[in-house]
Every structure is written in structure tokens, then in C-alpha cells.
Structure 1
Amino acid sequence: MKGKLLLLLTLTGLLCTSCLSIGLKMIGAYDKEATVSHYSNGDKEVAYIPMKHIGPKEFYGNVKKKVDSLQAEGYIVYMESVRVKDSLTPQQKDTLKWKARKLTGVNISTSGYIDTINKTLMGYKFKNRKGLINQPRYFVLGVDTIKGRVVDVPMNDLIAAYEKEYGPIVLNDCDHTLPWDQKYTCGKIAGEESNAMILDYRNAHLAMEIIDEKNKKIAVIYGALHENGLYKELKIRDSLWIKKPLR
């Protein structure tokens, strides 16, 4: 499962194919140029690239140019991924996938949000007329994956944190039998609780990674929905953090 949740909160409430296209346009999924926001506390510099997890090829080509430029300036790259690092049994993997789907309300396959074979977007029928693609792997985006690193929370740790805070995620017959390529209809977890883990918990974790980082220049490639929350978490820990004017 990819750890990329940009579209999650926006698209799960959309109810028809035409709405998907409208929603995608509203969140900038068709944009061909990436932006970079800059933050500083006078000691460290953070460049944030708000990632779109589906988009046109031109967008990802533009991301690569910006990544190349930042790395040339001495930035290391922080990457987003909730991929599980621990060894799990097949049964544990299935249970984790079911719980993750219940927490998020969607299933994100190993291929990404868009399923070109079944012509769906997160279980919704989708006519991909504008040639959107799934976010390429980080090395395709030009990231030096030896110097940079994934700093996200693995999904099994995220689920464990949720259950510690709110209690066990209880699966039902629908969870066990609903095909992975279909729209999730088995009863998603309440939005406030889901957001607390999917966004807030991970934002706080990312902020602490930045605070503890020895390097002074950090480029963050994370979903756009995390940016404001990350800035809030940095300000909580150090009031000197500011957002700098766009270059």
C-alpha cells in the first residue's frame, strides 16, 4: 500500500463519475507545474513540495526539476510513505489492509490510486480522458534516496496508535468479503478520529523529525493536505518558524 493520501478526504465524499472530474480539477490534480513553499526558523530551512498523488506527466517532470535544484543547493529530501517495514504473516497483512481500508475509507493498491486495467479511481469508475498517472517512485522524481529518507509512520504503527487512542478497529463480514477494487461501503471510521491519525499524528511526527534533523536544509515531498498541519506543529514547538514569501 502506498502512503500517499492527498485525495482521501476530498474524494471519498464524491458520489458520481462526473463529480470525480470536478473534484480533481478543484484540488489541482490537472496542474502541470509544482509549487515550492519555504519555511525557516532562522536555523533551518524547509522547502515543501505539495505532492499530488495523481497528475499529468508534466507535473512530475516539473517536480523532478525542482528536486534537482534543491538537492544541488544542499537540501536532503524527506519522503512520504506508510509502507510497512516489519515482517508480517499473510494473515497479519490481510488484517492490516482491512483495518487500513476501514480507517481511510479507500483501498490504495500497490499500483496507486488509478487502476488503468479496471478504469477506476479508488473504486470509482473513472474515464481518464486527460491521461493522469499515479505518482512515480521517488527515484524517478530525481530524489537521492541514499541521502534522503522516508520519515513517515508505517501503517502498522499508525493502526497501533489509533487503537491505543480510540480502541480496537472492529472488522465486519463486509470488510472481509468486499473486493479490493470496489468502492468501500462497509462503514468508515468517524472523520475526526480518522483525520487525527491520517493527518495530525503524522504531521506531528514529521515536525519532530525536522526538529531533530542535523542537516540545516530539508526538502519535504508530502501530500498537499499535510502542509498547513506541519507548519502548525512546527510553530507549536518553536514560535520562530515563519513561512517565507514565494520565490
Structure 2
Amino acid sequence: MANAATTAVPFGARWKLRISAIAWFLLSAGFLLGLPVLLDVSWLIVAALLVIALLLGLLVAWLLRLVFGGQRRQPFLISYIKAVLGTLFVFGIGLAIPIYYAAVYTDLKPLTVPQATLSNGKQTIVFQGMMHVGSEPFYKGVVYDLEKALTEGYVIYYEGVRGSPQGDQWFADTLAGGGDLSANYKMLSDVCGLKFQLDYFQMLAADMAAHPERHVAADVSTADMMHEYERLVAADPGFATRVQPAKADATATTKSSESISSLISLLDGSTAEQKRIAGYACRGFLTWALSGADAPSPLDPVLLDYRNRALADRIAKDTHQLIYITYGAEHLPGLLKDLQAIDPAWEIRSVKWQRVVEAPDDVTGQLAN
């Protein structure tokens, strides 16, 4: 009995062993879960992680033996092996977690837009919130609703700043950073595995040709926006100063689109697995970036407020009772406010929320022999 008491493992040591075993289990399980993702990206990443772990393992092992006496009671090789494995596991998990998180973020916090019905008792408006880039099911659903609306007698209002020889260059330099917005959105959709909205509106081309009166380019022109910008500068000299950072952001966006273009060129030679991983990361980042409330921009008086007023005025002058609007979702609050300024009877009768970004369907099967 006395001999058994002297050889028993102390209570504190037993808990250290248990905690250590749990920690190693979690690290190894996390690394094994992340390993397929890392290998899908490239086996070179795993090889690089192993080299880094072999090098850093020497430093980690030395520090552990310096701090913990228990480490010094075992051979240095054992400490080194454990340090290498621990470093490899931690770095591997650290690289895989963002990809996994991006993959589930679009499901945890889906990006949605409203389809709102507004009325003042005389006219009815269906406001379909839009995004320039989204998933195929979203755009197919929008096109289906538009075709149904056309059969019910609706006139379709489309967003899209109209080109003008007088204002195109100003628009590109001031609001688009010198770039082509449509080309930027198209590149973004390619990277994210999504679709560009204009590609799907081509499904309505036949009806547009047959019944052009039912399809209205309701937005202002680049010249209109330029004149409003100049009016605001003349009325408020501080406006031009406030918009300089926003103009710089537009230029930075164009430069980032050049980086996206380079990424697309790189992905052209990548494997299907690498494109899939890039799509997960891109969709997750896009959902995160667009889910939060945008801070007011100094350019909002031109980009939002002016265009909302112009749209509200067009609606007020339109003799059609049924109007279906496809505009960016951020225009809805301002448009409602401007409509109510013309006629206080305007109100939102109903709202349906639609999901914009989700992973593409990838369904396969096998034909029976």
C-alpha cells in the first residue's frame, strides 16, 4: 500500500496530462479537417508549412524547455518533434479556418434584398432590390417575376446611368475612377463564381424589341449627374473638398479591379478545386462586405439623393398605374421619402426578402446502364 501511494501520479499532473491530450486531439483533428482544403489549393502550401514547422520547431522547442522544467526532463528530440507537430497544426488550422468561415458565412448571414410593394391608392409600384453581382437562382427568379409582371400590365423601370457624350468622361473620372464599372462587375462575378445581372436581362430582349414602351430606362444620364455635381459645388464650396476622398476611393476601386483581372488570369490556369476554393473565399468576403450598413459617402447627394428625386418625379408624372422598378436596394428608403414628399399617401404595403449570394448548385448523377 505504501509503495502504491508513493508511485501514484499527483492530482495536478493528472489534469495536465488530460488537458494536454485534449489539446493535441483538437489540434490534430483541426489540422486533418483543414488538410483537404489546403491540398485543394496546392500541395506546395502543405510542403511550405512543413518546412516552416521544421525550422520554427527548433526555436519553439528551445523556448518550451527554457520555460517548463518538465520539458527539460525529456530528450530534446521529443521536444522538437512535438514542437514541429504543434507548429504545423496551428499554422495549418490558421490557414484553413478563413476558407471554412467564408464558405459558411453566406449561409450564417445571407445577403438579402427587398422586393417591396408600394402604393398611394392610385399607383402601385413593385420595387425589386438589385445587386450588380449575384447568384444564378436570384437572377432567374427576378426575370421570372418581370415576365409575370409584364403579363399583368406593368411597365418596367430599369436602373442604369445613361451614357452622354457630355458627361461620360466626367463620370468615369469622378465616380468610376477612370474604369468601366460593368467590366469591373463582370470580373468580380467571374472570380466569385457568380453572375452579372445584365447577362440575365438579355432574356427580356425579345419583349424589349417587340414592346419598347413597356421597358423604360428610368435613370438619369452622366451629363445630368455632372450638372448636379457642378450645382452642388457652386452652392456649397465645401462639397468639392468633402468628395475628394470618395473620388480617391473610386480610383482605388479601379486599381483593385486590375488586381482582380490579374487574379482571373491566374485562375484560368488553375484546377477546378482551386477555382472552387477561390469562389468560397470571394463569396464570403462579398457577403461580409455588403451585409453591413454603409457609411454615408460625400458623393451620396449625387449617387443616391439626386437619382432618387429624379426617379420619384418620373413616377409622379407617369400615367401608368402599375410600375415595376429594378434598382439597387439602397435606393428604396430615399425613393419612398421622395415619393411621400410629392404625395404623403405613398406607403409600403408588403416586403419580401430574397437571397442574393449563395454557392452555385453542383448536382451530378449517373445514367443507368
Which structure has the larger Rg? Answer: 2
- 8 Å contact 1:61–1:141 — kept in the other structure? no
Structure 2 counterpart of 1:62, from 126, 137, 141: 141
What is the letter of the counterpart of residue 243 of structure 1?
I
**Alignment of 1:136 onto 2:136:** no
Aligned to 1:162: 229
Computed over aligned residues only, the root mean square deviation of the Cα atoms, in angstroms, reads 3.5
**Alignment of 1:242 onto 2:242:** no
Q: In the TM superposition, what is the alpha-carbon distance from 1:192 to its structure 2 partner?
A: 4.5
Structure 2 counterpart of 1:113, from 157, 168, 185: 185
Sort the Cα spacing of 1:134 and 1:181 in 2 relative to 1 into closer, same or farther, 3 A. Answer: same
Q: In the TM superposition, what is the alpha-carbon distance from 1:37 to its structure 2 partner?
A: 1.1
Could you list the per-position Cα deviations for residues 9-51 of structure 1 after superposition, in whole angstroms to 9, with x for gaps in the alignment? xxxxxxxx98xx69x94671xx6xx752111111001011101
Sort the Cα spacing of 1:236 and 1:180 in 2 relative to 1 into closer, same or farther, 3 A. Answer: closer
Aligned to 2:159: 80
Q: In the TM superposition, what is the alpha-carbon distance from 1:127 to its structure 2 partner?
A: 4.9
- Relative to the length of structure 2, the TM-score reads 0.47
Aligned to 1:53: 132
Aligned to 1:215: 320
Q: In the TM superposition, what is the alpha-carbon distance from 1:77 to its structure 2 partner?
A: 0.3
- 8 Å contact 2:125–2:323 — kept in the other structure? yes
Aligned to 1:227: 332
What is the letter of the counterpart of residue 142 of structure 1?
L
Percentage of matched positions with identical amino acids: 25
**Alignment of 1:182 onto 2:255:** yes
Consecutive unaligned residues in structure 1, runs of 5 or more: 1-16, 185-189
Distance 2:180 2:124 in 1: 32
Distance 1:210 1:56 in 2: 30
Aligned to 1:153: 220
Structure with the bigger RCO (C-alpha within 8 Å, sep 6+) is 1
- 8 Å contact 1:63–1:141 — kept in the other structure? no
Aligned to 2:311: 206
- Relative to the length of structure 1, the TM-score reads 0.67
Higher helix share: 2
Q: In the TM superposition, what is the alpha-carbon distance from 1:239 to its structure 2 partner?
A: 0.8
Q: In the TM superposition, what is the alpha-carbon distance from 1:244 to its structure 2 partner?
A: 0.7
Distance 2:186 2:229 in 1: 27
Count, aligned residues:
199
Q: In the TM superposition, what is the alpha-carbon distance from 1:207 to its structure 2 partner?
A: 0.5
Distance 1:70 1:40 in 2: 16
> Is the partner of 1:87 in helix, strand or coil?
coil
What is the letter of the counterpart of residue 73 of structure 1?
E
- 8 Å contact 1:100–1:155 — kept in the other structure? no
What is the letter of the counterpart of residue 140 of structure 1?
Q
Sort the Cα spacing of 1:180 and 1:235 in 2 relative to 1 into closer, same or farther, 3 A. Answer: closer
